[in-house]
Amino acid sequence: MKQPKIIIVGGGLAGLMATIRVAEMGVPVDLFSIVPVKRSHSVCAQGGINAAKNLKGEGDSTWKHFDDTIYGGDFLANQVLVKNMCELAPAIIDLLDRMGVMFNRTPEGLLDFRRFGGTLYNRTAFAGATTGQQLLYALDEQVRFHESLDRVKKFEGWTFLSAVLDDAGVARGICAMNLRTTEIRTFPADAVIFCTGGIGAIFGHSTNSVVCTGSAQSALFQQGACYANGEFIQVHPTAIPGEDKCRLMSESARGEGGRVWVPKNPGDTRRVKDIPENERFYFLEEWYPKYGNLVPRDVATRAIHKVVFEMKMGLPGTPAVYLDVSHIPRDVLDRKLEGILEIYQKFVGTDPHEEPMKVFPAMHYTMGGLWVDNEQQSTNLPGIYAAGECEYQYHGANRLGANSLLSCIYGGMVAGPSAVRYARNLEKGCDSVSSEVFDRERVRQQDITDGLLHQQGTENPITIWRELGEVMTENVTVIRYNANLKRALDRLGELSERYKKINLQDRTQWSNQTLNFARELGNMLVLAQVIALGALERNETRGAHYKPEFPERDDANWLKTTIARYNEGKISLEYQPVDTSLIPLRERKYTAAV
Amino acid sequence: MPDKKVIVRVKRRQRPDEPVRWEEYELRYRPHMNVITCLRDIAERPVTRDGRESSPVSYEANCLEEVCGACAMIINGQPRQACSALVDNLDQPIRIEPLTKFPLVRDLVVDRSKMFEDLKLTKCWIPIDGTYDIGEGPRMSPSTQETGYPLARCITCGNCLEICPKVNEHTQFVGAAIVSQVRLFNMHPTGKLHAAERLDALMGPGGIEDCDNAQNCVKVCPKGIPLTESLASVNGQVIRHALKTWLMGRE
């Protein structure tokens, strides 16, 4: 057959890596992104990327990285895949280094590594405290090179609406909307790779960027794609609470020696600096002596919740704890953490070199995502692939810090060639598909848009979104009770009804951001139900999913992957066994060495 | 006590060819508000101060922590990122306008694709043989990294172009951000193997000669990038390169 055509949706780390791999194989790529790809959410990743290069003489190995990841994920991740990822990690770091990433260096000119949560090894390569930005830029530059050779065509400022599926349910392209002109068009492709990132907007205030709505995943889900482990939501322990978003304070602050504490006397009115060492409660160090401040995120988040809400020891006047780096020498901070300390200073106004930062947990990451098969990153819809945060496969019930950049790049590296292989083996390419298949989808999407533009409702999309965020954050994050989850599902049902009556205050057809947001909101409401339902059904505690009514991990009943399906407006759940072929199950506790 | 208010004036145009209109909004003050929260408040209730129904303001924003570069606009006369523009630090009424050196799309949205195109013209990438595993990258001294990393933090926001008197309709000057990227790639151990190509790109119209050293760029860079050092460094490189080409011919 003739040269296949690949579409990639999403231009963050996973999407750009997949793009480079496909372009390298001589196959043309159409790359779709809502924002110019250089502005993708990957820029927000701060602390680093894990790879067991063992350059610190600690006896680290890819197997230990693998073991830490499985154990950190509470044994919910399929193991072979994680092992493959950890084994490739050192080569991925080398590749990024060759691409010019300004990683921090040792005096010998080698890559420097620091410690992150959930491990005892210095395994995290980093570029200051803006590692995600630096990695994204390196891949962006490589894609620009391929673009200059016409191997890649970018469609920036387009948003994905739906997949074009033929009568056999095979993907033949996508339907997308131009955010400037509101034109809706279909684009044929032999295979489509989704790298559409996180879902933070479903929780209102999260550490995610504005574009992380999960809209694309949800649209695919409603077209028949399976969604796995949706209930596993990572709440990052240390963020600055905010009106518009919660700004992350990287785990690397603790990796470089930062300490989390509260005054032993909750009413202490002295200046922070005047509170003597023995009157400070370093609760993570006390409760988890082996890992100290570097316990995994779910553990640290629950500990902070306990201190603030159960023990009533939060900082005066605000639900927060101190994250303190003020004891670390200034030159070390400037070399290794400048990016995040600058964020704190700009947005809060105090200088973390001098004063401890006030932080509180915030929704950060979804471990769950589109279901993909074992080796190919392919979804259950033929011709559709997924990589990066939008799929479920590498982090189990809790992701370790600095593994997300790795899984994005690894997933992209696998998905690109997989999609090309599939496309090359297709008997019938997208060019031989009847135009009726494309027209049908375009008309369906145009009707949805026209409906939104013309309906005269009473509900404001931003108001519904704010309430959605409140329902989800209150009931479906750190601590989960079944009664609350049921109530949350009822509320989501109500919000979905109200959504049908929304009124767009902008009915123009030029750069109408309200229209796009309204479309995304509809998809967010569906995915929110998947998350809440998965959480309600899973009666155990595992990783980030904590139910006080079921406080133990229950391997007999719940060592399984949740699979959500969508059928005529109804969400149903089923379960799949987990691959635990390499590392035997063991109790997960960070109080002592593993 | 009545609620504290925030007064915001927004320069609006629904389409590039439509006349400008200024709209004033009165918003409810909350601690830690920034310009993005103001724009979101307007979107939720787009009614002007004098009670007229309007529409949500179009604007670009993504990361909201000043690392993606999306939300550059002119706030109280200064080009800057809206996310880090805290209401507490701004004089009211807060005046919000789109950047002027880029084609307007709508309201506060402008088209900055020229910057990305210029990164392409100046070949701002490290040429690699392929993504397969061929071992480690080149060694780099910590001091090279410490010089390069700040340059690599450029978020392509365009504020340095906005403030530059030499970026105007009469020149094609690429601006300080792009020149600084050339400096970054030319100092990298692999990147410097191809330095000549990048310098060639900066020798013609729109290149480094267009800079007349106004030094405004460095004052508005949200990332504190030493842009004037980059301009001086690349200017020196271009002069040496031109001289060498003139004396010895092209390699």
Q: With an 8 Å Cβ cutoff, are B67 and A141 in contact? A: no
Q: Could you give phi then psi for residue B4, rounded to 5 degrees?
A: -70, 145
Q: Which residue has the tokens 């750190």?
A: A478
Contact check, Cβ <8 Å, A514/B43: yes
Q: Which of B15, B65, B137 sits opposite A94 (nearest CB)?
A: B137
**Closest residue, chain B, to A507 (C-alpha):** B55
pLDDT at site B1: 52
Q: Which residue of A has its CA nearest to B36?
A: A244
Nearest chain A CA: its distance from B166 CA (Å): 25
Q: What is the ipTM of this complex?
A: 0.97
Nearest CA-CA distance, residue B180 and chain A, Å: 15
- What local confidence, expressed as pLDDT, does residue A267 receive? 85
* pLDDT averaged over every residue in chain B: 96
Angle at B152 between CA A11 and CA A87, to 5 degrees: 60
Within B65-214, strands assigned E span: 72-75, 78-81, 94-97, 104-106, 109-110
pLDDT at A132 over 60: yes
In a 3-state reduction of DSSP, which class is residue B97? strand
In terms of pTM, does the model score above 0.95? yes
Is there a contact between A109 and B139 if contact means CB atoms under 8 Å apart? Answer: yes
Residue B93: cis peptide before it, omega within 30 degrees of 0:
yes
Q: Between B32, B44, B120, which is nearest A148 by CB? A: B120
When pLDDT is averaged across residues A276-287 and rounded to a whole number, the result is 97
pLDDT tens track for A528-555: 999 999 999 999 999 999 999 999 999 9
pLDDT confidence of residue A594? 41
Query: Which strands make up the sheet holding A570-577, listed edge to edge?
Result: A369-370, A227-228, A560-567, A570-577
What would the two tokens of residue A262 be? 């509260």
Q: Say what the pLDDT of residue A160 is.
A: 98
* Nearest to A13, CA basis, from A143, A128, A105: A143
For residue B185, the chain A residue with the least C-alpha distance is A100
Q: Is B131 on the interface with A (CB under 8 A)?
A: yes
Could you tell me where the DSSP H helices lie in A150-191?
none
B22 touches chain A (CB under 8 A): no
**Average pLDDT for A170-193:** 98
B-chain residues near A44 (CB < 8 A): 63, 65, 67-68
Nearest CB among A244, A247, A506 relative to B36 is that of: A244
Nearest CA in chain B to A409: B131
Q: A–B: how many Cβ contacts below 8 A?
A: 188
A394-436: pLDDT as tens digits: 999 999 999 999 999 999 999 999 999 999 999 999 999 999 9
Tell me which H or E stretch contains B42. helix B35-44
pLDDT of A480 strictly over 60: yes
User: Chain B 204-233, CB below 8 Å of chain A: which residues?
Assistant: none
Under a CB-based contact definition with an 8 Å cutoff, are residues A240 and A250 in contact? Answer: no
- Please measure the distance between the N-terminal and C-terminal CA atoms of chain A and give it in whole angstroms: 53
- Would residue A480 show up in a list of annotated catalytic residues for this protein? no
User: Which residues on chain A are in Cβ contact (under 8 Å) with B44?
Assistant: 460, 462-463, 466
* A510-530 tens-digit pLDDT: 999 999 999 999 999 999 999
In chain A, residues with a C-beta closer than 8 Å to the C-beta of B14 are 508, 510
Pair type for strands A49-50 and A122-125: antiparallel
| Interval B105-120 mean pLDDT | 98
Q: How far is A578 from chain B (nearest CA, A)?
A: 31
Identify all chain A residues contacting B192, using CB atoms and an 8 Å cutoff: none
Query: Average pLDDT of A566-577?
Result: 96
Q: Average pLDDT of A42-67?
A: 97
Contact B62 A39 (CB under 8 A): yes
Find out whether A325 and A254 touch, Cβ atoms under 8 Å: no
Q: What is each CA distance from A470 to A204, A362, A463, A467, in whole angstroms? A: 7, 13, 11, 5
**B2 pLDDT higher than 90:** no
Residue A263 has pLDDT above 60, yes or no: yes
User: What dihedral do alpha carbons B170, B176, B177, B183 form, nearest 10°?
Assistant: 130
A107 is written with which tokens? 């005096």
**A593 has pLDDT over 60:** no
Would you call A354 exposed, middle or buried from its count of C-beta atoms within 10 A (0-12, 13-18, 19+)?
A: exposed
